[in-house]
Structure 1
Amino acid sequence: MVLCFGTRGGNMSRLRGLAERDPRAGFRAERGDCGASVPQGLLKAARKSGQLNLSGRNLSEVPQCVWRINVDIPEEANQNLSFSATERWWEQTDLTKLIISNNKLQSLTDDLRLLPALTVLDIHDNQLISLPSAIRELENLQKLNVSHNKLKILPEEITNLRNLKGLYLQHNELTSIPEGFEQLFNLEDLDLSNNCLTTVPASFSSLSSLVRLNLSSNQLKNLPAEISGMKRLKHLDCNSNLLESIPSELAGMESLELLYLRRNKLRFLPEFPSCKLLKELHLGENQIEMLGAEHLKHLNSILVLDLRDNKLKSVPDEITLLQSLERLDLSNNDISSLPYSLGKLHLKFLALEGNPMRTIRREIINKGTQEVLKYLRSKIKDDGPSQSDSVIETAMTLPSESRVNVHAIITLKILDYSDKQTTLIPDEVFDAVKSNIVTSINFSKNQLCEIPKRIIELKEMVSDVNLGFNKLSLISLELCMLQKLSFLDLRNNFLNSLPEEMESLIRLQTINLSFNRFKILPEVLYRISTLETILISNNQVGSVNPEKLKIMENLVTLDLQNNDLLQIPPELGNCVNLRTLLLDGNPFRVPRAAILMKGTAAILEYLRDRIPT
């Protein structure tokens, strides 16, 4: 009887209710079967706080004492029959938060229903292949994290969790979404990234409370037009899919603020007439060929526009409509000139690396955003471009009558023999230089398997070499002898190493190694102290040396996107000179996407805070 007088908050009725559903439940002594994996002190604390964290305890199954924590008499009650006021176990708090992540669980039992008060269940980073049907009884659940498991299907019972606000299913093996998913009408955050989904149900439009939806790294070829029904959606991530187009209805999502469409197969830029709040639009690594006024005129609030690694040939004057724009990434396109009006924008970051830029000298681009904008502003004329400007534009675009663009050699100091699909550079190309000064070489978009040996003839003058989009598997020593080389583009080749002799390139400031086959950051790069920009995205890089990077005092841009980095060393946070650090598209788990979105300074600060003391 003493138990009845001491109860509060209906715990007794709760215990009776569980007893009716589970013949093992009731005022039974808690079995001492938890062992060292779950200390009694931890269970005791959980009864007071309502929270139990069993993360990283090497568990292959959840001990019974965890499921029955609010059902059985605690072990310590049998050892101490005279309870003090602070030891009244019957006044225990229902377990509301259970974390059993980073273990070796392959399944959960239906005993899960013995914890009906749970509001948070975190079981990420296990080996679960399914969820029990009893999950339907966790009607109070608000957050469920089952990410980084091996789920192939979701039980239909999950649609019974009507109070769910956050559902995290990323990094599983899901191929479909169960019927009735739209019944989760309180859902605000849904992460389905890194699965095997090929379609998104049209019924998703009923998820009217959804604020954040992550569908990245699946196999989606299209999005349903009904997705526009998510009137509260602010963040939509569709990176790394197979999307060839975007439904026009997407333009009607008035609350949309962040839209990620990187690494798809888009050929055209969508228009966004109703997306007045859109702040970030990420379209990098697609096949977009044109940027027109119609694409820009509605982006009044845009802060970030990412168009890197596309096929753009020009930027329209209407870019000045984007008065709020702070970050513009145009790197790795086919842009040869920029409108001078771009200088009117108040950009904080402008990326132009990897373009055959001809109207702006390479040394100006290498000095950074503000110098480029200053240069463009200085060229603005009230009465339009001068005659000399027109001559330069014509010289760049008029095809030469000969096979070699002599105009470019004389006027722009460029030896251009690009996009010929040739396996070797003819001697007449080098002969055409004669006594002229050439500072840039562009042999990109050919079929070169080796670097032309005659390139050494230009070693005293060349500062800019573009050998991108060829079939190079090694770098010859001739290239290492270009003493004035400051910009080197080797993207889209078959390279997996760089020669140690590159250390002699004592003026090299920018190197582009994207889309090759590197598995590590080449050691020789750490020894080129003049390097300011290293672009090595879309390789297989598995590690970097933060101590050596820290010594590179001039390095301000490091692009490591889409590699195989399983972890980011905290010591990288000490590289305080970095202004742009790009890490998206790697399989590491921390820093999380929310940190990456905040930019380089936030990433470095996060990493520094985790350096062991």
Structure 2
Amino acid sequence: MSGAPRRRAGDSLAGFRRGAGDGEASTGRIPQGLLRAARKSGQLDLSGRELTEVPLHVWRINLDTPEEAYENLSFGAADRWWEQTDITKLNLSSNKLTWLSEDMRLLPALTVLDVHDNQLTCLPSAIGSLENLQKLNVSHNKLKDIPEELTQLKHLRSLFLEHNELSHLADEFGQLVNLEELDVSNNHIASLPVSFASLTRLVHLNLSCNLLRSLPAEISAMKNLRQLNCTKNYLETIPPELASMASLEQLYLRRNKLHYLPNLPSCRLLKELHVGENQIEVLTTEHLRHLNSLCVLELRDNKLKSLPDEITLLHGLERLDLSNNDISRLPFKLGNLPQLKFLALEGNPLRTIRRDILQKGTQEILKYLRSKIQDGDEISSSGELPVTAMTLPSQSKINLHAISALRTLDYSEKQATVIPEDVFNAVGNNPVTTVNFSRNCLTEIPKRIVELKESVCDINFGFNKLSSVSLELCMLHRLTHLDFRNNFLTSLPDEMETLASLQVINLAFNRFKVFPDVLSHIPTLETILLANNQVGSLDPLQIKKMDRLVTLDIQNNDLLQVPPELGNCINLRALLLEGNPFRTPRAAILAKGTSAVLEYLRSRIPT
């Protein structure tokens, strides 16, 4: 070790004697009792000890005579050090290691090596000599490359390389023929080697959060693959060969650039298909025909305008997420899906289901749809309500029936840069409660919006080009739901604190770099959707102020850390943090849900 005095040749106890120079500071953190127990069990756990280097005697634990052997002790049957067990599991995670010694070759019996959550920039070539290694975890480090010697580990079954700085995988990667689990997520990988075709025993493959623009057709050779995660890449198409992966059960393609679903005729075991946050415009019968085992279908944040009636053939479907699309009507037979327990429709311009029904949840929506089958209600395929005598020729784009009967002012999807005066004139004395100006090209909020302040409760300005919020909007004191998603907002005016009835605000897909402070001054807020911005930090005191807040979605932002004090916000029922660059809480904790995350955070609060 650097800085250590030279040892006498043959002195195998130098690393154990008090005052020895080998990693003296580190040695103090490794109790002799722990080493003694490791010789019996074959397992040594040195995680979380702030080690900056691994003392030599750790690598030599099965070679050197232990210190207690030279003391005047009598050994019982349980303490015979000469009957020690070879170390097979070594845990060095959550330390401050920047390098590992070539001396790791002195532990050839290792089957598990865990060095995740350190500061390693490289791995020693000696890694290739650990021929019995079955599981290697080097995630959450700073590796820019992996040594070719690693690909010689023929018995390796699990390899975790996520959260490093890898830009490529070597062609020799295919030599790891016994791999069953591979995670290379959260790196900078732009392409996969053709040799991936040799990894035929893979069961779980995580490629998420990289720079992939395509997948090699050879990936179809992974006949045992059950889970494939390609979330958050740049995929525009999926190779048709993927359809032959008959063992696939879970497919994650979220946050890519897909324009259509892949056809998966042979994936008859597929249970979960996640394709949210893409650019999918059409869902056809062909896409759904063979997915007989599907339980979860996630299509949120796409551009779907309709659902085919054949979606009702998915009899095993339990969760269907259609949030934030352009769907104006649903097939009434959707109500007959026997297993459907969760149906998300928020953020769609639905014209056939009243908001009060939507707010009652999945079972009430399904019940309503079934009633419409019985009533035999009809609506045009475009989802438009028929033009009536109430529609004046000069107002052909304004639905007067919706204004008078549904109390809805809808001027969406017109690509308008301003809202015409006729639109507001058409309201007259009608008490409009809902306004939909989404999917236009508005750069500012129309000033006449203030004319609706005595009745309007729900406003949708989503998918426009707004860069600021006008003071006129801050005068709408009855407002309960406000949708600003997919705009260019960077801040909110302090005057918004006068919105004393606001319960839900959607600010997803904007350009916020800080959590808007004014939100903490609106005590009625129950839901804040702030995903896909650039927020770098959270103030737990701000969040704690909002004692009615139950949902906080801050996924896919720039949070480098989650303050432990956030765990005290016990009113939160949904805290969504995925897709941020923080190291803790780990993905495994996030996957357990909000209660587990809050409990974990509370346990980390300094005392």
Bigger mean CA offset, 26-35 vs 557-566: 26-35
Q: In the superposition, relative to structure 1, how do residues 612 and 330 fare at CA in structure 2: closer, same or farther (>3 Å)?
A: farther
Q: Alignment partner for residue 177 of structure 2, among 163, 174, 185? A: 185
Bigger mean CA offset, 447-456 vs 53-62: 53-62
Structure 2: runs of 5+ lacking an equivalent: 1-7
1:400, 1:239 → 2: CA distance? 48
- Specify the alignment match of 2:314 in structure 1: 322
- Specify the alignment match of 2:237 in structure 1: 245
- Specify the alignment match of 2:5 in structure 1: none
- Specify the alignment match of 1:356 in structure 2: 349
Mapping of 1:556-595 within 5 angstroms?
556-568=550-562, 580-595=574-589
Contact 1:358 1:412 in 2 (8 A): no
Contact 2:453 2:476 in 1 (8 A): yes
Contact 2:197 2:221 in 1 (8 A): yes
**Shift in Å, 1:486:** 2.4
Contact 1:147 1:171 in 2 (8 A): yes
**Shift in Å, 1:296:** 1.6
1:43, 1:429 → 2: CA distance? 79
**Shift in Å, 1:195:** 1.3
- Specify the alignment match of 1:18 in structure 2: none
1:28, 1:388 → 2: CA distance? 86
1:399, 1:73 → 2: CA distance? 98
- Specify the alignment match of 1:5 in structure 2: none
Contact 1:484 1:507 in 2 (8 A): yes
**Shift in Å, 1:610:** 6.9
Structure 1: runs of 5+ lacking an equivalent: 1-22
For the aligned residue pairs, the C-alpha RMSD in angstroms reads 3.1
Q: Which amino acid in the other structure matches residue 135 of structure 1?
A: I
- Specify the alignment match of 1:485 in structure 2: 479
1:274, 1:40 → 2: CA distance? 56
Alignment pair present for 1:347 and 2:340: yes
Alignment pair present for 1:444 and 2:438: yes
Alignment pair present for 1:428 and 2:422: yes
Q: In the superposition, relative to structure 1, how do residues 395 and 502 fare at CA in structure 2: closer, same or farther (>3 Å)?
A: farther
Contact 1:392 1:411 in 2 (8 A): no
2:42, 2:386 → 1: CA distance? 74
Mapping of 1:175-324 within 5 angstroms?
175-324=167-316
Contact 2:26 2:53 in 1 (8 A): no
Bigger mean CA offset, 434-443 vs 522-531: 522-531
Bigger mean CA offset, 111-120 vs 347-356: 347-356
Mapping of 1:395-414 within 5 angstroms?
395=387, 402=395, 404-407=397-400, 408-410=402-404, 412-414=406-408
2:381, 2:215 → 1: CA distance? 45
**Shift in Å, 1:607:** 6.0
1:377, 1:256 → 2: CA distance? 33
Q: Alignment partner for residue 473 of structure 1, among 460, 467, 470? A: 467
Q: In the superposition, relative to structure 1, how do residues 387 and 315 fare at CA in structure 2: closer, same or farther (>3 Å)?
A: closer
Contact 1:26 1:72 in 2 (8 A): no
Bigger mean CA offset, 499-508 vs 145-154: 499-508
Q: How many residues were matched structurally?
A: 589
**SS, match of residue 433 in structure 1:** coil
Q: In the superposition, relative to structure 1, how do residues 435 and 390 fare at CA in structure 2: closer, same or farther (>3 Å)?
A: farther
Contact 1:61 1:106 in 2 (8 A): yes
Contact 1:25 1:72 in 2 (8 A): no
1:274, 1:300 → 2: CA distance? 11
Q: Which amino acid in the other structure matches residue 256 of structure 1?
A: L
**SS, match of residue 381 in structure 1:** helix
**Shift in Å, 1:575:** 6.1
Alignment pair present for 1:513 and 2:507: yes
**CA distances 1:87-137 after superposition (whole Å, capped 9, x unpaired):** 432222212122222233332222111111111111112222221111111
2:565, 2:271 → 1: CA distance? 32
- Specify the alignment match of 1:540 in structure 2: 534
**Shift in Å, 1:515:** 0.8
Q: Which amino acid in the other structure matches residue 429 of structure 1?
A: V
- Specify the alignment match of 1:166 in structure 2: 158
**SS, match of residue 442 in structure 2:** coil
**Shift in Å, 1:455:** 0.6
Q: Which amino acid in the other structure matches residue 511 of structure 1?
A: I
Contact 1:515 1:537 in 2 (8 A): yes
**Shift in Å, 1:468:** 1.5
**SS, match of residue 136 in structure 1:** helix
**SS, match of residue 228 in structure 2:** strand
Contact 1:139 1:163 in 2 (8 A): yes
2:135, 2:26 → 1: CA distance? 25
**SS, match of residue 37 in structure 2:** helix
2:261, 2:364 → 1: CA distance? 29
Q: In the superposition, relative to structure 1, how do residues 276 and 26 fare at CA in structure 2: closer, same or farther (>3 Å)?
A: farther
Contact 2:318 2:341 in 1 (8 A): yes
- Specify the alignment match of 2:3 in structure 1: none
- Specify the alignment match of 1:11 in structure 2: none
2:184, 2:374 → 1: CA distance? 51
Contact 2:379 2:385 in 1 (8 A): no
**Shift in Å, 1:269:** 0.7
**CA distances 1:220-260 after superposition (whole Å, capped 9, x unpaired):** 11112221221221111000111111112212222211111
Q: Alignment partner for residue 69 of structure 2, among 71, 74, 77? A: 77
Contact 2:329 2:383 in 1 (8 A): no
Bigger mean CA offset, 567-576 vs 419-428: 567-576
Contact 2:482 2:505 in 1 (8 A): yes
Contact 2:537 2:559 in 1 (8 A): yes
**Shift in Å, 1:517:** 2.4
**Shift in Å, 1:197:** 1.3
Bigger mean CA offset, 464-473 vs 80-89: 80-89
Q: Which amino acid in the other structure matches residue 536 of structure 1?
A: L
Identity of aligned residues (%): 66
Q: In the superposition, relative to structure 1, how do residues 389 and 296 fare at CA in structure 2: closer, same or farther (>3 Å)?
A: closer
Tell me the TM-score normalised to structure 1 length: 0.87
Bigger mean CA offset, 173-182 vs 213-222: 173-182
Alignment pair present for 1:105 and 2:97: yes
Q: Alignment partner for residue 370 of structure 1, among 332, 338, 363? A: 363
Tell me the TM-score normalised to structure 2 length: 0.88
Bigger mean CA offset, 157-166 vs 46-55: 46-55
Q: In the superposition, relative to structure 1, how do residues 316 and 527 fare at CA in structure 2: closer, same or farther (>3 Å)?
A: farther
Contact 2:395 2:422 in 1 (8 A): no
**Shift in Å, 1:378:** 2.3
